[in-house]
Amino acid sequence: MQIREATVSDHKVFTEVSRASFKQEADRLRLPYRDLNIEPPGYDNESMNRYLIEQLTCYVIELDGQVIGGTVVTLTGQEYGRIDRMFIHPEQQGRGIGKRALQLIEGLHPTVRIWELETSAAQPNNVAFYRAAGYQSVFESDVEVCFIKRVKRPIDEAITFRYEERSIKGAQAYGVDASQLAITNSNISELRASNCNFTRSQFRNINFRESEFDDLNLSGSQYRFVTMFESGRPTTFFHTNLTSTIMKNCRLDGMQIEDSSIDGLTIDGVHIKDLLEHYRKETGGMKRYE
């Protein structure tokens, strides 16, 4: 058995094995709700898995030249890592492959001091597996169990400021150089930021519910696999410049455009003005679109 870093060309087989593994477990448990640790978002979607391979650190697990599993790892800074998901094809489970893969992943990242992961409380075998691998539970509920593993590593003296498991609630900052700041597994709710430079920043797996974004320059930004509607709470854009914005493979169900400039707007290559003109002709007697 060996692991190697996944490439974009692996995204189809990565998806096939992911689908087989997670679906088999979901079918076996048949929970009355969707458990995101058992059926993680996009586990059976080729576009999502391609994104994960491109943007995160992903590995394929091979046996005799065949891909039999995979892992998705998020690295934040040099010292913090997260096992987002790990899966083994059902036909290869129970052979110690997951244990060896976990050891290899940790060995490939010798600067990581704290690893974290989550698993479903409905999977006692997984809970026992991670405990045996040296992970300690830090949170347990009826739904999930959260683990961390602290690895003894030499402290990087080049990192001047290191804040771990402490509160800086209510702290204020002015004129601070926080470039290349790395934050993970932290509560930053009710953050107030103004007149700040976030150029080339990256926000991944972030809860931005009910946040406000005002007077921003987002030119050149990209949004991938972003949810803007949940539980009846729509996202609203007021006085926003979306000139030359490109939307591909997006869900726009129920989207409303009112009192807005639509010069150059096309849908599947058809200009919106032509669509509106055709609609007005079909409905009869309506004012021509100017």
Rounded-to-10 torsion of CA 195, 201, 205, 207 = 0
**Closest listed residue to residue 187, CA positions, set 203, 216, 204, 207:** 207
Tens-digit pLDDT profile for residues 1-32: 999 999 999 999 999 999 999 999 999 999 99
Output the pTM of the full model: 0.79
* Most confident range, picked from 57-66, 187-196, 231-240, 279-288: 57-66
Amino acid letter, 173: A
Euclidean distance between CA atoms 94 and 48, whole angstroms: 27
pLDDT computed for residue 123 by the predictor: 97
Q: Output the average pLDDT for the chain.
A: 91
Residue 251: strand, helix, or coil: coil
Q: For residue range 267-287, what is the model confidence (pLDDT) as tens digits?
A: 888 998 888 888 888 887 555
Higher pLDDT, 226 or 120: 120
Confidence of residue 134 (pLDDT cuts 50, 70, 90): very high
In degrees rounded to 5, what are phi and psi of residue 229?
A: -145, 125
